[in-house]
Chains A and B, each alone.
Chain A
Amino acid sequence: MSAAAHAYLNTRVSIMATRLLAADRVSGLATQELSELSDRFGLGEVLDAQLPTHAKSRAVEQALIQSLLAEVNVLIRPMNAVETALVLSWARKFALFNLKALIRGKLHHLEPSAIRDHLYDLPPRLRLSNQALFRTENVLELLRELEQGPFSLIARQAREVYEQKREPFALEATIDQRYYAELMRQIMQFQGASLQPLRQLFGAVLDRVNLLWLLRFRLTYQFSPSETFYHLIPSPRLLHRERLLALVNLDSLPQVLEVLPPPLGQLMADADSIIEVQRRAGRHLVTEARQILSQSASGVARALAYLILREMDLATLLTLIQGQLLGLPVELVSAALDQAAPEAVTIH
């Protein structure tokens, strides 16, 4: 990237970062009326539409995703090809949402219109070839069709796994795993000033994902250590390969939390449930992302840190609006926010 493009990107990110919600502003938003929220975040048109509550909630979610992807579009303008590819790969998670919705729809033999209701409208460069995929008759055909496009690697692996196991879980786990593995592969292609902050940022993302998956797979789904390890993605930071090999052999939450390296160990001390771990790991990610946003010199790392934080903010906003649409008490919505916000950064 040229110096001018780099300066432009950094300025852009700094301007956009002023939109991020500070923690104290979130609690203020929880007490605001729906009309105030819609005016403030430009959702008036969606919220004013004559739609049932579920459809309205869905439309709000769609509008928020589109606003995030519009920002992605702005941020990639000055980037070079490798940086653009990385940011688009990150944003491809929304296409994978659609892919999973299609797979679930095919598995449960849903009508095309029912499947369509669960799909996000995405810009062309992120979109799956929805029409062709819609017309497939089963999951295998769908994955074969997907193998023809940019998702070929994910689709091929997913199909091979599905052919062997015939389990939706294995299929979705493979899709998620390939998504993160591809991100890491692209990051390792970077050289120079961007490599370290990107490793730091996505290290934090993967540490969080690994910890949650490890706990769920081992303790909730009772997977064997081998199988659990196979579904994890070694992080370039705390939860690297050797540490994961050690952690998957442990059988209880306290045992796992006890041997976590600092600062995760201190952060998770006394956490008594996976939900609590999820909440604290989410906060850790926010801290890491904010640090990169404020201190890093790499434009692409700052852009991705901003997008991760922005996505969390939009998820918070969505929770608030959904709470209001359903007429839930403010306390309940605030409690849900406390639990749910970090979930925005995982594709599970």
Chain B
Amino acid sequence: MSKLDVSRRGLLRTGAVTGAGLALPTIFTAQSAAAFTNDPTGGSVTLGFNVPQTGPYADEGADELRAYELAVDHLNGDGDGGMLNSFSSKALEGSGILGKKVEYVTGDTQTKSDAARASAKSMIEKDGAIMISGGSSSGVAIAVQGLCQEAGVIFMAGLTHSNDTTGKDKKANGFRHFFNAYMSGAALAPVLKNLYGDDRKAYHLTADYTWGWTQEESIKAATEALGWETVNTVKTPLAATDFSSYIAPVLNSGADVLILNHYGGNMVNSLTNAVQFGLRDKVVNGKNFEIVVPLYSRLMAKGAGANVKGIHGSTNWHWSLQDEGSKAFVRSFGTKYGFPPSQAAHTCYVQTLLYADAVQRAGSFNPCAVAEALEGFEFDGMGNGKTLYRADDHQCFKDVLVVRGKENPTSEFDLLEVVEVTPREQVEYAPDHPMFAGGQLGSCNPGA
């Protein structure tokens, strides 16, 4: 006969250990199934729109905010529905996202990486934002994308054109609808060849930061493939305002094309200075001197005034497009605000709808489920023809526009005209293309 010797303390200890052992897998299971950063539990879901509300890109940021507001209206069933009517996916019904009313908070990036990270962090931690979107700079986009990856929320990038955003700095939680520098080069090159021939000498002025470097690399490779010679590439400080001392050497360099890898205020000033120095009236090597601006925006063109006339560049989208999606968006935006949307507004609006649609199709706000729904997603009706969100790098592939500064604008918005819609196939590249090498997408982080 055995003796059962059980003390009170021993029983408690054994019970606690056994209980913990049995409960352990349940805790892990429960976490992995339902818990992720800012899981919306009430009747609403909060999105975080992180745009430049102060600083030099504040006007672009204001246009992005207008687009986000419009997207939220349409998601909640207000207004005319905009692109929801033309979007090929019909998962969204104008009843919020998964039945939850869409609300939003905003942050000010100031177009500074540290400020943008701070505002995104605040929206995630204090306001419970489940997704962050916006921005008008690649430096900011890369910084915020990294933060969202760490925090376990989805980042739907706004205006960011550097190859690095979906290249060496790509992240599993980050998605870019906007086109990139490589695509600008690939779209522009054939047009430049038709216009200016294959025997040209190009001089590059390049903004000295991530976007400028990849823009120069891309357009240089594309034009050299045409047979153009690169005479010189000069980096200019981002803070530069007067480019006269950089333009002057172009005059005697033997170049017959000036490529301005500048954006925003840099581009407005460098183009203005180049025109002031009479470059457009010069004849070099028996050819008319030409200026090219690889990345154009309407807001920027407005700042440069008449100097943009006849200058070629590329853009992600333009309000004059006549497809059903673009017309629907321009109608909604124009009716609400009284003027046509910019390309930044377009990409932000589309990104919000794409995120909402992905949640709806996934049936969950879990970032990993949303990422899975976005990866490899093919859609149409959003303004750039048939579009693919490539799974390998989370870059959208779609038609790219080559535009030219309009000679006789009919209004203050009518500054660019579409010269060519470059088909998607022409701007596609392999996921392991050298210009995008160096980074890993990694795995999705649900946070919590």
Do chains A and B interact in one complex? no
